[in-house]
Amino acid sequence: MTRDIELDQFIARPPAAVWRALTEPELLARWWAEGDIKPVEGHRFTLDMGSWGKQQCEILAVDPGRMLRFLFAEGVLDTTITWRLEAEGTGTRLFLTQAGFPDERSFTGMSRGWPAVLTRIEAAAVA
């Protein structure tokens, strides 16, 4: 049985700024991890997760400005991360789903970590 994390965070920035924070390497590094991400289906990239090592990833689906899905930690966790963005007033509602955890330990660890990580996006989401 696999478990999924589902969270959402309101960000007081327009969707275009949040999209940039998710898809531009220099902005992604400000709030989560360094890596050579590109929002292009099939693009393989690495995220430097510090003490957890460099994790191999692959973009699985892109709907520019609205949705990004990628394989995360190939060969280690093999989970799928999906970001969905919806305009909400003058800001953005960002939805995160991380699906396919192989065990309770990794699910619990990531579940505890994501809420704090999500709070850091707003500062990196520049217009």
CATH of the domain at 27: 3.30.530.20
What are the distances in angstroms from CA 55 to CA 59, 81, 112? 13, 13, 19
User: CB count, 10 Å around CB of 36?
Assistant: 13
The string of pLDDT tens digits covering residues 29-82 is 999 999 999 999 999 999 999 988 999 999 999 999 999 999 999 999 999 999
Range of the domain at 88: 3-124
Q: Which residues pair with 80 in a beta bridge?
A: 71, 99
Q: Model pTM?
A: 0.94
The string of pLDDT tens digits covering residues 97-125 is 999 998 999 999 999 999 999 999 999 99
**Number of domains making up the chain:** 1
